Structure 1
Amino acid sequence: MGKRVVAITSCITGIAHTYMAAKALENAAEELGYEISVEKQGASGAEDVLSAEDIAAADAVVFATDKAVDESRFVGKDVLIISCDAGIKDPKGAIEKAVSKTGTVRISGEEQPATSVEVTTTGSSAASGASTIFKHIMNGVSHMLPIVVAGGILTAVSYAFGNVLSDSGIVWAFEAEGTLPYYIRQVGVTFGLGMMVPVLSAFIADSVADRPGFVPGLIGGLIAVQIQSGFIGGILAGLFAGYLTYWLNKAIKLPPAFTGLKPILILPLLSTTIVGLGMYYVIGTPVAALTAAITSFLSSLNGAGNVVLGIVCGLLYFDLGGAVSKVLYAFAIGALDAGVYGPMAAVMLCGMVPPIGVAFATFFKRSLWTQEERDSGKAAILLGFSYITEGAIPFATSYPLQVLPGCMIGGAVAAVMSLLMGIECTAPHGGIFLLFIPNVINNIPGFLICLIVGSLVCAAIVIALMTLRQNKGKAAGGQQTA
């Protein structure tokens, strides 16, 4: 009888990588003759949730995740913890390592947060150490992104109403209080983007300290907005709130009769007070100054500075929408929040070029690809138009040395062109469809030129490297035959 494997997949956004990793693991398990159950923790919630019986009967456990997940259900199990990308690229190797207990980590009860019985564990504990800080931050980013997208696009829509004539002259339509564009703007900016940093901070703290960290994290994020310390202030507030709350939770010991007071009174009061005062007196001023300096630097970039930034943007998209790409995207969102719109256009182009460029490659030289790959190219171009970079992943997984260089260089070319042309984008998502909303992208022809040129560069490099690969294969085959 084959081994029984359970797995959890969860990428930062909970969209493409989550399900691609799950499918890859399922296919690999089938090839190996193993049974597998995969819980997908996507953007709309957990799907195919593992039961206690599934976990207890498992011979191997795999976490293919880019953010913190609840480990409390797996106490006593040896778990292989890898990234979503690793689950996509080498699922068979991951399962074999998990089965053989190579590189696994034993989940023990002592490593879980020392929360009271009323508190439900929802993420990895701070006890795991500094190595999990990135995952805590990504947990905040993943919860923040839907707010950013919704708020950003609504803000962009408010520009579509154009200008109106008022007593003070010609103004934007959304500046006329009480009108439809005014309320759309309010929802988008005040209650959408306005909650971006507090939500980021709250869920970073929640990831570190579980539910007790949420309130001090949220309030720390609100203070970060108030004192204009921005995205960086929100991250620091979340980490400060989370680790402080986790420490307080462990340090404060109460008689059993008073234990219930800790999560609902003592922890929120102490942690919120300390975090709030710490943000005002210690963290806020230097971080606000740093944020202002970064904003000023980005605003002043020109010539060589834009070239360097564009190249960095292209190169950092090497994981095609994975964790590193999301860090770059978060940087662009931070710039957007600070009123600098050039990086957002450049980063969006970096995300659109790879799937469109690879799709072009399948169209222009069909002989290099199988029929299945040509069909995938048709889907990839639609995903690229929608700013879903993951459309290029099937090709990069099969031919990494041939596809990834083209994706990175093509994205860098598009980003450099965009920054040099001064193209700006006021919405954080939407891809090609933003072109239909007036005033969102300040130079639509320029944006299209950047997208087409970057995609063609990507396609040319992919075709050249794939042709070289094919020729080497033919030469090797000919030598063997001779």
Structure 2
Amino acid sequence: MSEMITADLVDLDLSADTKEAAARALAERMAALGRVTDLDGFLADVAAREAQMPTGLDGGIGIPHCRSAHVTEPTLAFGRSGTGIDFGAPDGPADLIFLIAAPAGADDAHLTILSSLARQLMNAEFTSALRAADDAATAAALVRGDRPPPPAAAPAGSGASAPDDSAAASNAAASADAAAVPSAPAPDRTGQDGTPAPGETGGVDTPPAPGETGGADTTPAPGDTGGADTAAAGGARPFRIVAVTSCPTGIAHTYMAAESLENAGRAAGDVEIVVETQGSAGFTRLDPAVVAAADGVIFAHDVPVRDKDRFAGKPTVDVGVKAGISRAAELISEVRGKAERGEVTAGSAPGSPVERTGESGEGYGTKLRKWLMSGVSYMVPFVAAGGLLIALGFAIGGYQVNKAPSVMDHFMWMQADSWGALFFQIGGVAFGFLVPVLAGYIAYGMADRPGLVPGFVGGAISLTINAGFLGGLAAGLIAGGVVLGIQRVPIPAALRGIMPVVVIPLISAAIVGFLMFVVIGKPIASAQKGMTDWLNGLTGTNAVLLGALLGLMMCFDLGGPVNKVAYTFATAGIAVASPSDSAMKIMAAVMAAGMVPPLAMALATTVRGRLFTPTERENGKAAWVLGASFISEGAIPFAAGDPLRVIPASMAGGAVTGALSMTFGATLRAPHGGIFVVPLIGSPFLYLLAIAAGVCVTAAVVIVLKGMRRPAPEGTGTVPDVPAPAGGGTKEPVAA
């Protein structure tokens, strides 16, 4: 593994005037060294991260960063601007710009190095040394840690202390400053140029001298004040705080907030603070004893705090991660004030599974989609197992197998009809769980485990009243909402122990059952019947258009939400013991279209391999098997690297296949299986012809689109290997 930053990755005269131009200038240095394989793709990932939250920080620092599939190894580029570049920091433009590039699967060791850099950025001596560096090699060595920054000079007239007394002098200055301005944000102690304000010896951001506890990157040990020991000297117990920091990427802001909070705690003198950084390199949970002994909690995060329930019942300040960087001292003062007033957080549920894995600030539309996908993801295995067993039952026992008596009463070991009936009846039982599982896990996604009981009950009632798939969706959402409502009602401490096992299941199941049986069940059942009748009545042009639409949806995001909507629509139609002919045609069209993208990419890499990177050609070999198995995700590596060409081409082929499948009248009783369930398909040869046509269309379109690309500009590091059109003197690059 090469060094994370070298002199070639340093630009001490960065001439860019916008953050986009700055990122491009530094990224081009990475690409020239082969550390970024697709410049535009990487910059798109940087821009996407920047759109989530500006990466400018107080003190003239900009840290654009991202994790990207276009990065080969963890890399850092540094630029110094003479005029300043706006990265969205409250105090103005940044003159120190760090572009951090982490691979999608970066190893923990290098992410730890990046986190150490983030902490160093809170050190005024470090940033001052970078501003004073006169050559690229010196700056790179400072960032790597090969060369420690020179100590800050004592302000004129302050009277420099003897070497043995420097630590005490620094502590005394920090304590005095903290006492004079107890709520001043830590970064504001440092001027725009990173030098200490007059009369200070480095401010609150200066790490303690050797021999002190809690150095610049060291978390104070439990029981230690982590600062000037003034509290310990006076015999007073320190105010103990536990904190959690996290950001969407988990590379920079997470660790900078931790460092800022620790610095502010040391400056306060009588505060002991221990921080848990939930970053990309993983995290180590705080010792439960430390959490139990804490007087207050600070959450500085932009993604959900993992295992948040550990901190329930304590005074809590909950803010974004940038507040942890810029307002650390204020946050400490705020949590101390809450503790003095006796304000504590309720011991409520730690949040739903969706909330624990989601992004900060998501709207209800995004959450609704995730709730629905939670139910669908748990339902699909039942669909696959039940559907394949039912299809196998029909294949072995014939199309009258659905009228066979129960195998409990009649089963002959040597008769194929009995085995067919056995598979059919097992599959029917599995299918009976579809709607309850869908409803139960939608509610689970909303309200965690308390949502399971009312969700399953509502889903079962939906089957009882023939409200079907639509009823299951409604029951799951209602159940989750009811449980969330109950959890917000203040409950006496004596009753909290029986809430999750008695009270919540009882009340929520009763409410959901009442609503499904008496209020909304009948209208939903009517809507379900209307949709079924409409599907059964589809013929001719309408059926072909529906097939094309489903094909477009299956290939739009290759296993994403739109793909799952189309797939769920199809499986809902066959999730009965005797599905209609129209429902089986829809299922056939959906599976055929879903097989097209990976098979087409495999074909394209075989026919015109020079248009693809070596990695894509290797992925093309696996895509044959994935496509044949109806795993649309096999095309994702191609779409991720070149979405503007691969996705439209895939949609074109998927639409052709879906329309042809409906035109040919192919039917399918199994919800999965690809070519391995061809014997269970009605009109199998025409069905395979529809797939072949779509594969050829997609492969042809993607080859044409890739062949029209312009050569990469000089200096991007792309190695061309495709001949240019006749008369041209340049060659086509491997990757766009």
Normalised TM-score (structure 1):
0.74
Asked if structure 2 preserves the Cα contact closer than 8 Å seen for 1:200 and 1:234, the reply is yes
Structure 2: 5+ residue stretches without partners: 5-65, 77-99, 107-218, 220-241, 251-284, 286-296, 305-319, 324-344, 412-418, 714-723, 732-736
Q: Secondary structure of 2:573's match?
A: helix
Report deviation, 1:24. 5.2
Q: Of 522, 534, 545, which aligns to 1:285? A: 522
Distance in structure 2 (CA, Å) of the matches to 1:75 and 1:176 = 64
Distance in structure 2 (CA, Å) of the matches to 1:430 and 1:446 = 18
Q: Of 223, 228, 232, which aligns to 2:470? A: 232
Asked if structure 2 preserves the Cα contact closer than 8 Å seen for 1:202 and 1:216, the reply is yes
Q: Of 132, 143, 154, which aligns to 2:389? A: 154
Q: Of 565, 568, 583, which aligns to 1:327? A: 565
2:423 alignment partner AA:
I
2:686 matches 1:446: yes
1:1-55, CA deviations, whole angstroms, 9 ceiling, x for partnerless residues?
Answer: 98xxxxxxxxxxxxxxxxxxx995695772456779989xxxxxxxxxxxxx9x9
2:599 matches 1:356: yes
Aligned to 2:420: 181
Asked if structure 2 preserves the Cα contact closer than 8 Å seen for 1:354 and 1:392, the reply is yes
Asked if structure 1 preserves the Cα contact closer than 8 Å seen for 2:558 and 2:633, the reply is yes
1:118-149, CA deviations, whole angstroms, 9 ceiling, x for partnerless residues?
Answer: x8854428997623111111111111111111
- Evaluate the alpha carbon distance shift between residue 139 and residue 75 of structure 1 in structure 2; reply closer, same or farther with a 3 A threshold: farther
Distance in structure 1 (CA, Å) of the matches to 2:441 and 2:552 = 29
2:355 matches 1:124: yes
1:286-318, CA deviations, whole angstroms, 9 ceiling, x for partnerless residues?
Answer: 111111111111111122212321221122221
Q: Of 261, 264, 267, which aligns to 2:501? A: 264
- Evaluate the alpha carbon distance shift between residue 362 and residue 193 of structure 1 in structure 2; reply closer, same or farther with a 3 A threshold: same
Aligned to 1:423: 666
Distance in structure 2 (CA, Å) of the matches to 1:336 and 1:140 = 18
2:574 alignment partner AA:
L
Distance in structure 2 (CA, Å) of the matches to 1:154 and 1:441 = 14
Correspondences of 1:333-372 after superposition (within 5 Å)? 333-337=571-575, 339=579, 340-372=583-615
Aligned to 1:87: none
Distance in structure 2 (CA, Å) of the matches to 1:37 and 1:319 = 20
Report deviation, 1:433. 0.7
- Evaluate the alpha carbon distance shift between residue 373 and residue 195 of structure 1 in structure 2; reply closer, same or farther with a 3 A threshold: same
Aligned to 1:60: 247
Q: Of 64, 75, 78, which aligns to 2:301? A: 78
Asked if structure 1 preserves the Cα contact closer than 8 Å seen for 2:547 and 2:658, the reply is yes
Aligned-pair identity (%): 38
Report deviation, 1:176. 4.6
Q: Secondary structure of 2:672's match?
A: coil
Distance in structure 2 (CA, Å) of the matches to 1:459 and 1:367 = 14
Aligned to 1:43: none
Distance in structure 1 (CA, Å) of the matches to 2:500 and 2:348 = 7
1:391-417, CA deviations, whole angstroms, 9 ceiling, x for partnerless residues?
Answer: 111112222222222100101000001
Q: Of 306, 310, 321, which aligns to 2:543? A: 306
Aligned to 1:108: none
- Evaluate the alpha carbon distance shift between residue 122 and residue 363 of structure 1 in structure 2; reply closer, same or farther with a 3 A threshold: closer
Distance in structure 2 (CA, Å) of the matches to 1:61 and 1:157 = 46
- Evaluate the alpha carbon distance shift between residue 256 and residue 197 of structure 1 in structure 2; reply closer, same or farther with a 3 A threshold: same
1:356 alignment partner AA:
L
Distance in structure 2 (CA, Å) of the matches to 1:352 and 1:174 = 33
Correspondences of 1:27-106 after superposition (within 5 Å)? 30-32=74-76, 60-62=247-249, 76-79=299-302
Count of residue correspondences = 400
- Evaluate the alpha carbon distance shift between residue 381 and residue 100 of structure 1 in structure 2; reply closer, same or farther with a 3 A threshold: farther
Distance in structure 1 (CA, Å) of the matches to 2:298 and 2:473 = 30
Aligned to 1:410: 653
Distance in structure 2 (CA, Å) of the matches to 1:402 and 1:151 = 37
Q: Which moved more, 1:446-455 or 1:469-478?
A: 469-478
Asked if structure 1 preserves the Cα contact closer than 8 Å seen for 2:402 and 2:424, the reply is no
Q: Which moved more, 1:305-314 or 1:383-392?
A: 305-314
Distance in structure 1 (CA, Å) of the matches to 2:527 and 2:595 = 31
1:183 alignment partner AA:
L
> Which structure has the higher relative contact order (CA within 8 Å, separation 6+)?
1
1:436-479, CA deviations, whole angstroms, 9 ceiling, x for partnerless residues?
Answer: xx4x2111111111111111111111111122226899479848
1:71-110, CA deviations, whole angstroms, 9 ceiling, x for partnerless residues?
Answer: xx998243369xxxxxxxxxxxxxxxx9989xxxxxxxxx
Report deviation, 1:186. 2.0
Normalised TM-score (structure 2):
0.49
Asked if structure 2 preserves the Cα contact closer than 8 Å seen for 1:114 and 1:250, the reply is no
Aligned to 1:68: none
Distance in structure 1 (CA, Å) of the matches to 2:530 and 2:454 = 27
- Evaluate the alpha carbon distance shift between residue 430 and residue 285 of structure 1 in structure 2; reply closer, same or farther with a 3 A threshold: same
1:253-292, CA deviations, whole angstroms, 9 ceiling, x for partnerless residues?
Answer: 3321122222222211111111011101122111111111
Asked if structure 1 preserves the Cα contact closer than 8 Å seen for 2:354 and 2:446, the reply is yes
Report deviation, 1:375. 2.3
Distance in structure 2 (CA, Å) of the matches to 1:472 and 1:460 = 23
Distance in structure 2 (CA, Å) of the matches to 1:230 and 1:115 = 37
Asked if structure 2 preserves the Cα contact closer than 8 Å seen for 1:174 and 1:185, the reply is no
1:30 alignment partner AA:
P
Distance in structure 2 (CA, Å) of the matches to 1:255 and 1:130 = 31
Asked if structure 2 preserves the Cα contact closer than 8 Å seen for 1:161 and 1:173, the reply is no
Q: Of 457, 463, 469, which aligns to 2:703? A: 463
- Evaluate the alpha carbon distance shift between residue 304 and residue 77 of structure 1 in structure 2; reply closer, same or farther with a 3 A threshold: farther
The structure whose Rg is larger is 2
Q: Which moved more, 1:388-397 or 1:235-244?
A: 388-397
Q: Secondary structure of 2:396's match?
A: coil
Distance in structure 1 (CA, Å) of the matches to 2:424 and 2:72 = 48
Asked if structure 1 preserves the Cα contact closer than 8 Å seen for 2:435 and 2:459, the reply is yes
Report deviation, 1:56. 7.4
Asked if structure 1 preserves the Cα contact closer than 8 Å seen for 2:450 and 2:504, the reply is yes
Aligned to 1:139: 374
Distance in structure 2 (CA, Å) of the matches to 1:36 and 1:25 = 6
Q: Which moved more, 1:336-345 or 1:440-449?
A: 336-345
Report deviation, 1:208. 1.0
Q: Secondary structure of 1:76's match?
A: strand
Distance in structure 1 (CA, Å) of the matches to 2:618 and 2:104 = 29
Report deviation, 1:188. 1.1
- Evaluate the alpha carbon distance shift between residue 200 and residue 78 of structure 1 in structure 2; reply closer, same or farther with a 3 A threshold: same
Distance in structure 2 (CA, Å) of the matches to 1:382 and 1:393 = 14
Asked if structure 1 preserves the Cα contact closer than 8 Å seen for 2:71 and 2:103, the reply is no
Asked if structure 1 preserves the Cα contact closer than 8 Å seen for 2:352 and 2:445, the reply is no
RMSD: 3.7
Report deviation, 1:174. 7.6
Asked if structure 1 preserves the Cα contact closer than 8 Å seen for 2:666 and 2:687, the reply is yes
2:405 matches 1:172: no
Distance in structure 2 (CA, Å) of the matches to 1:442 and 1:250 = 53
Q: Which moved more, 1:403-412 or 1:254-263?
A: 254-263
- Evaluate the alpha carbon distance shift between residue 457 and residue 37 of structure 1 in structure 2; reply closer, same or farther with a 3 A threshold: closer
Q: Which moved more, 1:278-287 or 1:461-470?
A: 461-470
Asked if structure 2 preserves the Cα contact closer than 8 Å seen for 1:355 and 1:392, the reply is yes
